[in-house]
Structures are given as C-alpha cells and as structure tokens.
Structure 1
Amino acid sequence: MKEEQQFLNDKLREEQVEKIFNINKNIQKNLRVRLEKLAKQYGLTSPQLSVIFKIYETPAITLHELSSHMRLTKSTVSGIVDRLNRQGIIVREIPKDNRRIVNLSISEEFKKNNDIYSIKKKFIKDLALNSEDNSSINIEKIIDGLEEFNLLLKDTDF
C-alpha cells in the first residue's frame, strides 16, 4: 500500500514538473512574440531590440558583458551589434587606456529620434495591461509565484 502511494506521488510530481516546463516554454514563446511585434514597429528584430535595451540600461557595456547577459555566444551578439552599428544605432568605442576592449553605446542620433525608455515602458505596460484580469493583486500573485519558483530552483544542489 505504501509503495503504491509513493508511486502515485511520484507520478503526480512528474506531471506537475512537466506542466511547469510547458508553462515556462509558453511564457518564453509569448514574450518573444510580443517583443517581435514591438521590434517590427521600429524596423528591428527582437534580438536587436533586446541589445538596444541592454546597452541603454548599461552604457559603455563591453561585447563580452553583453553576450554574457544575453546568454548568447560572443559571435552571435557581435553580428547583431555589427548590423546595428551599420544602421547607425550603436556606436563602438575603444578606450584609449585599454585598446583590447570595445565599449558599446547608443548613438546620439538614434536617441534623439527614439525614446528608448518609453519603448521599453510600453512593452512592459502592454504585458501587464493585456490580460483580462490585470489588477495589481493578480500581478503580485504572479510575481510571488515566479519568485517562489525561482527560489525552488536555486535551492537544489547539483
């Protein structure tokens, strides 16, 4: 009897974990789709817009730091940066005191023509306001649940 109960508990746990993975996959997909729609409005791709957001938040970030943040290879991020540089959106600067690194920043021209803070704020606001029940209580429940899940993942020893 005890073995049967353990089997049922294990089976339930397996199903719950599978459900968590599927929900997470769908969340990632939905965020990507929304970011792609926003990026398209500005003639950009979602990775390009993500790079712009990060460089805006962290002026003079290095390519290495940017690729680490985005969890992409340095060559992939370098390709994105190259295209944005050719479009006049990103500026590469080599510091005089350390010629081995390249600092990245948003061009003054792009900043003059685009309010990056407002673009990002619109993306976040649309996420929160696009649900049927967008009360701050429900949003707090989502935040609490995600924080709890994050803690659960951090506590495991591998």
Structure 2
Amino acid sequence: MISSIYDSATLAAVLNAEPLTAADAKETPRDWVDGIWVAGEVYPLDPKATTDTLAVLANGTAAVTWSPKGEYCGGGHRTAVESQAGHWCAADTDSVTFGDDVRGVTRDWRQVTVWDANGYTETIVHDTLDEAKEAFGRESAEMSREWEEQEALMGDEETADSLLY
C-alpha cells in the first residue's frame, strides 16, 4: 500500500490505480490540481505545468506523463502487457551509479539526489527542470572524476603491493 508520494514512480502507481467510477475515469490531471489525497496527505499539482497528459507535483519532486495504449514508454514494467497498455509513467528522470551501486546521482523531475552506500544523501529540488538537468550533469561529472581518481589511486596501491611480494 502506498503511504506517500515521494517520487515519480509512486505518483504513477497512484494514477494507474483503477478509477472508482466512470466519471473518475474521464478525469485528467487538470481536474486534480488542488491535490491528490494519499493516506491523509494532500499532494497539490503544479497548475502551470500540469496538462491533460502530464501531472507535476507542485513541490517539483515528481512528474508523470501519459503513455497511450500501444506506445512503449521505456519504463521498467513487470510485463509487456503493462508496457503496451495506456498508463502513467515517470516523465523525466535520469540516474548514474558508480562501482556497483557504491555511489550515484539521480534526478527525478526537478529533484536531484547525490548519495553513497555509506548513508550520505543530499537532495535539492531545483526551481526549473533545466536547472535540475544542469545540476545532474555537474554532479555526475564531478562524481565521475572523483571515481576515476580513486580507481587510479587504488590501481597504484595494488601495483605497489604486488612489487612487495
């Protein structure tokens, strides 16, 4: 059971739920700009960015787009039937990881998160999608440089260790 909307995947899951009535089935995100209620909390939509086929949370942390029946959205669906049915899926996300998920950077709409396996997490919600994409690029490039430097140092240590034995 979903208890909060914290990213585009959970927003998509909420919107992909079976409508209760025929009237509900005819509604679009524009009908929900005042908010989507989940577990006692209301998640308002951005009235300027939300359209009939795009739902954007007002806080910028998630967005989903409508994928019409027969059009594959590229999302990670459990079955081919799901991927070909009309459904909501993440609108614009990106991610990069280094060292078998040792650290990484993710972007979910305007939210950019830098993390590592030691528990470090820093999340910033940017004012615009372009700013978030720019920040994701910067953070990814910086992390890539740091990872390459670390690997080079580890390679030098392994070479030095092998000379001792």
Tell me the TM-score range normalised by the shorter chain.
under 0.3
| More strand as a share of residues | 2
| More helix as a share of residues | 1
Instruction: Give the TM-score, by structure 2 length.
Output: 0.23
Instruction: Give the TM-score, by structure 1 length.
Output: 0.24
